[in-house]
Structure 1
Amino acid sequence: MQTKVLIIEDSRMAMNIIVKLVQQAGLEPVSAQSLTEARHLFANTIPESFLCAIVDYNLPDAVSGQAIDFCLQSILPTIVVTGRMDAKTRSNVLSREVVDYIPKENAQTYDYLSRLLGRLERNKNIGIIVTGQDRSSARHMVSLLKRHNFNTYEAATAEQTHQLLRENHNIKVVITGAELEDQNSTALISSLRADYAKEQLAIISVCERNNDMHSARYIKSGANDFLLKPYCHEEFLCRISQNIELIEHVEALTNMANTDFLTGLANRRFFFEKLTSRVRHQADGHALAMLDLDFFKKINDTYGHDAGDEVLTTVSGLLKHHFDDAVVARLGGEEFAVFLPSTPPKLAFKRLDTFRRDVEKQTFRVLKKAYNVSVSIGLLTSMPVGLNAAVTQADNLLYQAKDSGRNRIASDIMAVQQRLQSVM
């Protein structure tokens, strides 16, 4: 079921713009031109199906923000749009627990609304730690963050902060102050930065406005950003969002660099980077398989490259399904690799053979022609120290599978068993 957004707006032009923005965000607009109409519409819906409400401050039957109060009482995160720019209206709006307010000023403000809708959905998967704050400040920060759908965590000590990070991999931001019980804030920032790069974890320090030296010390210790007290509602949330967006941009670029565009699997470079150190230090107990689609060139030549791409994406989907606990990569063309950590030889063979049979069952069609594919696999279960040596040995086993008739697994398991029998 598509997530909904309640829109209460009496201007037809503004309504049309907001509806389009909501639809572009992949959400379903539920529109009302008055508070009365909104009450009627909302009474017949499930509140949990709504992401938020976008509400005009001044409506024919709610001239002073009463529609805002209705949405907040209905437990809806509320974004206010208004044509009024005076200080009194702004203060009136921000005195309520709204997500944000947006003046109907120019095209850029509507662009901000579009980005805010996307943020509210993504924020459900993002965690933020509030640490080293006095009780009143912490409550205020947590309230602001929850309005934006963030998962919030509170800590009173540096050790609690580190523990929360170890236990919750969704955390992207730490907001730190000077009220830590076991360590000063610069020491906490320094220790966090030793474990997490700026592109992984944003650290935002909050300090008193009457001491300008603190902000410089925090930045030099490794903080991404700082806020001076007292700060306004909007500045706080804008700085949080900007730091998270920077992390997301870096993650997106890293993902593009490490991922095969067609299949979504890891690419060759990432596969070797991720596993080289691991295999160098501990090769025992792991398994490595090299896989190659049989007669793939014939598929491209007979049915076209689109058909070949369909085969590659289908087989990649099966790899993700069968080996979601492994490192799976497309090394190039029709060749794939699967690294199975801490997997006994017989189990590795069984899992790969189940996958091989699953590939064999797939039927592909181009127009009225149906065809099947198969895969040959070289499985190495006695790993040498060094990934390059392991890949070479697994490749040799793959060639044996090809030479033996294809659509099969060639493994070193038999040789391992023979060596054990000779020792006994």
Structure 2
Amino acid sequence: MKYKILLVEDNAASLRVLKRIIGKINLDVAVATSLTEAKLIFEQSTPESFLCAVVDYTLPDAPHGEAIDFAIQSYMPVIVLTSQSDEDVRNRILSKAVVDYIPKQNRQVFEYLSRLLIRLQKNKQVGVLVVGKRPSSRNKVCELLNRHNFETYQENNTLSAVNSLYNNKQIKLVITENELQDESGIELVAAIRKEFSKEELSIIGTSNLSNPALLAKFIKSGANDYLRVPYCHEEFFCRVLQNIEHIEQIELIRKTANMDYLTGLPNRRHFFEEVTTQMHRGLESMCLALLDLDHFKKINDTYGHDCGDAMLKEVAKLMKKHFSEFSMSRFGGEEFCVFFPNTTLEQAKQKLDVFRTQVESKKIRRKRQSIGCTVSIGVTSKLAEKVETMLSHADECLYKAKSLGRNQIVCYISK
């Protein structure tokens, strides 16, 4: 779904810059130069289509932030723009349920707005678990998080909190009080760290006790951060975003390390790790297929490596379409691999043959020519303790498929 931003701003110069910024991050924008226009736009739109509202504090028909109240009452996250920098205005803005406020002082603030809008989109897929004894205190934290579009979950004890983490894989952050229904927050942190590492999940401990030792206990038990209650909501969001972005950066590094740059498929090393783990689970049946594009060197030599790369990308797209529930990899060059756990040879062969026929019919256009290729496949169902053993059997079958004329599947039947 492509979201819209409701932009409420009466300054023509600011409008031009803001519309350009919003357009660059692939968001639509609905522009209003007054509160009256903003209400009319909202009435004529679907509320769910708005990611947020970006509102100027001072408007011709709303000189004291009345447009902010309208957007909040319409259940939209609100980012406030203001050319006023005095403390009273800042406090008045922050007393409302806004995402953030941005002083219109220099160009850097618009870059900050761009990052904030991107973050609001990402947050819709990010879960935060709030743990505490009292529903009222949990609700306050969730209300702050909901302003930033986070998906929130609440629990009051250790067992339900850990179960919630297993049942909701999108949770990237836990915020816990020290006072829980069954144990302390410190004991909860220790319990979570037995199951989830700091690279998988961030934890922030909170307490209204001004006890330096408590902070140290939280950190030593495995928390990433600590917040002393009461806190200002700006500090709260800085800590929350810092910890979530830490997890996202690790995920990105892992993804980059495990991915083939050209095709976006998992690379050979990641495939070995993933399949080895699955094989050690004692599968009753399994198949492994080795796939190789026929006469691929001729495509590179005749049409150039750009054309060859385009063909590899198209084949990778087909693999993602047909084998998304299985482990797959670009093994190197024009060679690919798929592992089928708990799958019979006949089932694997059926899936592979559908894929083979789609590769055969796939064409790309280069220099006014239609270029295609075919694929030879070797597949084995012979159970083995190591991936390398199954690969060896599949490779024998692939060699036979090539020698028999290519564009076919040859199977190594388990004995």
TM class, shorter-chain normalised? over 0.9
Q: Contact 1:283–1:385 (CA<8 Å) still a contact in 2?
A: no
Give the aligned length.
415
Residue 92 of structure 2 corresponds to 92
Note if 1:30 corresponds to 2:30: yes
Give the alignment's Cα RMSD to 1 decimal.
1.6
CA contact (8 A) 1:290 1:398 kept: yes
Partner in structure 2 of residue 227 of structure 1: 227
Report how far residue 144 of structure 1 moved: 0.7
For residues 346-396 of structure 1, give each alpha carbon's deviation from its aligned partner in whole angstroms, at most 9, with x where no partner exists: 111111111111111222332233333111111011121111112122112
Q: Counterpart amino acid of 1:39?
A: K
Deviation of the 1:283 alpha carbon: 5.3
Give the equivalent residue in structure 2 for 1:107: 107
TM-aligned CA distance change 1:137 to 1:319, over 3 Å: same
Question: What CA distance in whole angstroms lies between the structure 2 residues aligned with 1:81 and 1:215?
Answer: 36
Inter-CA distance 367–52: structure 2 relative to 1 (3 Å threshold): same
Find the aligned partners of 1:70 and 1:270 in 2 and give their Cα distance.
51
Q: Secondary structure, in 3 states, of the residue corresponding to 2:336?
A: strand
Once the two structures are superposed, the pairs formed by residues 31-180 of structure 1 within 5 Å of their partners are 31-180=31-180
Matched residue SS, 1:266: coil
Q: What is the identity percentage for the equivalent residue pairs of Structure 1 and Structure 2?
A: 46
Q: After superposition, what is the alpha-carbon deviation per residue over 1:75-114, rounded to whole angstroms, capped at 9, x for unaligned?
A: 2211111122323222221222111112223333322211
Q: TM-score, normalised on structure 1?
A: 0.94
Task: Tell me how far apart the structure 2 counterparts of residues 131 and 350 of structure 1 sit (CA, whole Å).
Answer: 48
| Equivalent residue number for residue 263 of structure 1 | 263
State whether residues 282 and 385 of structure 1, in contact with CA within 8 Å, keep that contact through their aligned partners in structure 2. Answer: no
Indicate if the aligned counterparts of 1:133 and 1:176 stay in contact, CA closer than 8 A. no
Q: Is the 8 A contact 1:283 1:384 kept in 2?
A: no
Judge conservation of contact 1:280–1:386 (CA < 8 Å) in 2.
no
Q: 1:313, 1:160 → 2: CA distance?
A: 44
Q: TM-score, normalised by structure 2?
A: 0.96
Secondary structure at 2:393 match in 1: helix
In the TM superposition, residue 56 of structure 1 has moved relative to its aligned partner by 0.9
Q: Letter of the aligned partner of 1:128 in structure 2?
A: V
What are the equivalent positions in structure 2 for 1:359-370 lying under 5 Å apart? 359-370=359-370
SS of the counterpart of 2:169?
Answer: coil
Are residues 126 and 385 of structure 1, via their aligned partners in 2, closer, same or farther at CA, if it must alter by over 3 Å? same
1:379 and 1:397 in contact (8 A); partners too = yes
Partner of 1:409: 409
Structure 2: give runs of 5+ residues left out of the alignment: none
Change (3 A) 1:69 1:397: same
Q: 2:182 is matched with which residue?
A: 182
What is the identity, as a one-letter code, of the residue corresponding to 2:304? Answer: G
Q: SS where residue 175 of structure 1 aligns?
A: strand
Mapped to 2, the partners of 1:281 and 1:385 lie a distance apart of: 11
**Structure-2 separation of matches of 1:277 and 1:25:** 39
SS at match of 1:397: helix
Runs of at least 4 residues off by over 6 Å: none
1:240 is aligned to 2:240: yes
Match of 1:350 in 2: 350
Mapped to 2, the partners of 1:283 and 1:134 lie a distance apart of 46
* Paired amino acid for 1:385: E
Aligned equivalents of 1:40, 1:184: Cα separation in 2 = 51
Question: What is aligned with 1:250?
Answer: 250
Shift of the alpha carbon at 1:237? 1.2
Q: Distance in 2 between matches of 1:368 and 1:96?
A: 60
Query: Once the two structures are superposed, what CA deviation does each residue of 1:94-150 show, in whole Å capped at 9, x if it has no partner?
Result: 222111112223333322211110111111101100002522221111111111111
Mapped partners of 1:118, 1:170: distance in 2: 18
Answering whether residue 18 of structure 2 is matched by residue 18 of structure 1, we say yes
